[in-house]
Amino acid sequence: MAKILKAQVFNPNEVIDYADGGVISKEFIHTANGSVTLFSFDEGQKLSEHSAPFDAVVSVIDGEPEIVIDGKAHHPKAGEAIIIPAGHPHSVNAPKRFKMMLTMVRG
C-alpha cells in the first residue's frame, strides 16, 4: 500500500488493497467539514442500510458496486460517481470486489 502525502499526486487504486472476505477503509482527510475515505470490498461484502446527516459522493475506482438509495439499485462503474443525498437510506453491496473513494461534506 502506498502512502498518501499532501501536495503529491497519488493513484487511489494503488493506495488500498483488497482483503479476502473483508472490507478495508483508509480515511486520509478528516475535518469538521467532512472527510475522504478509500474503501475496498471483497466479493460478497456489504454495508447494511443506514443514512447520514450530510451528502456523500461515492467515486468508483475499481470494479462495479451495487449502491441502493431509497430502495433503488445503482451500478456505477470505475470512473463514475454517485451522490447519496443527506438523510436518505442507502446500502452498499459488492456482487464482485470493488474499490471506492467516499467524500462526505457537512453542510
46 assigned to some structural domain: yes
Nearest Cα neighbor of 103 from 42, 61, 49 is: 61
Distance CA 46, CA 99 (A): 12
Question: What is the pLDDT of the chain when averaged over all its residues?
Answer: 95
| Residues spanned by the domain of 89 | 22-105
Please, which residues have CB within 8 angstroms of residue 103's CB and are 6 or more apart in sequence? 34, 35, 36, 56, 57, 59
Provide the whole-model pTM: 0.93
The β-bridge relationship of strands 90-93 and 66-69 is antiparallel
3 assigned to some structural domain: no
Grid cell in block for residue 9: 499526486
2 assigned to some structural domain: no
71 assigned to some structural domain: yes
8 assigned to some structural domain: no
pLDDT digits (tens, 9 = 90+) for 20-50: 999 999 999 999 999 999 999 999 999 999 9
